[in-house]
Amino acid sequence: MNSMDIHEILKYLPHRYPFLLVDRVLSWEAGKNIVALKNVTINEPFFVGHFPGHPIMPAVLIIEAMAQVGGVLLLSMVENPKAKLVYFMAIDKAKFRKPVFPGDQVRFELEMIKLKMNTCKMGGKAFVGNDLVAEAELLSILVDRQDVLERRKDS
């Protein structure tokens, strides 16, 4: 079991403000599971329009944060995470049970369901305190960053 502060997370994920949605990794076991936190503040740019007078974190951003946590788990298994990217491929069985408000701290718990070559399926849950606020199964693929850059040049 390990932990990561934001400086370590930045070594794994390419996301930056305003789209980095993981603040701390509490623990992870390579290839098995991960627990991480997102501190939700009123300063998040999406609260300006979602919704004025009644700010709640958009459900799709809860799933995005969950996927980023899964990305940290997947990238923690490779020798050179800076040379790889994690692409989100599918969402299954997504359920949103309670809203997330400014001031909440969301705890993400993900488990590796299946890992085959460079594709993985993870089961994720999001909690505020002891309350389950969202859950989903996520399918992702690990790609070479250089291949992506070369394809972009060719198009």
Instruction: Show which residues are catalytic.
Output: 50
**Do 75 and 84 touch, CB atoms closer than 8 A?**
yes
Query: Reduced to 3 states, what is the DSSP secondary structure of residue 24?
Result: strand
C-alpha closest to that of 96 among 62, 54, 141? 62
| Torsion sign, CA atoms 12, 75, 136, 27 | negative
Quickly tell me which residue has 């370590």 as its tokens.
Answer: 8
For the chain, the straight-line distance linking the first and the last C-alpha, in angstroms and rounded, comes to 43
Q: What strand order describes the sheet that includes 105-116?
A: 24-29, 33-39, 105-116, 119-128, 131-144, 84-96
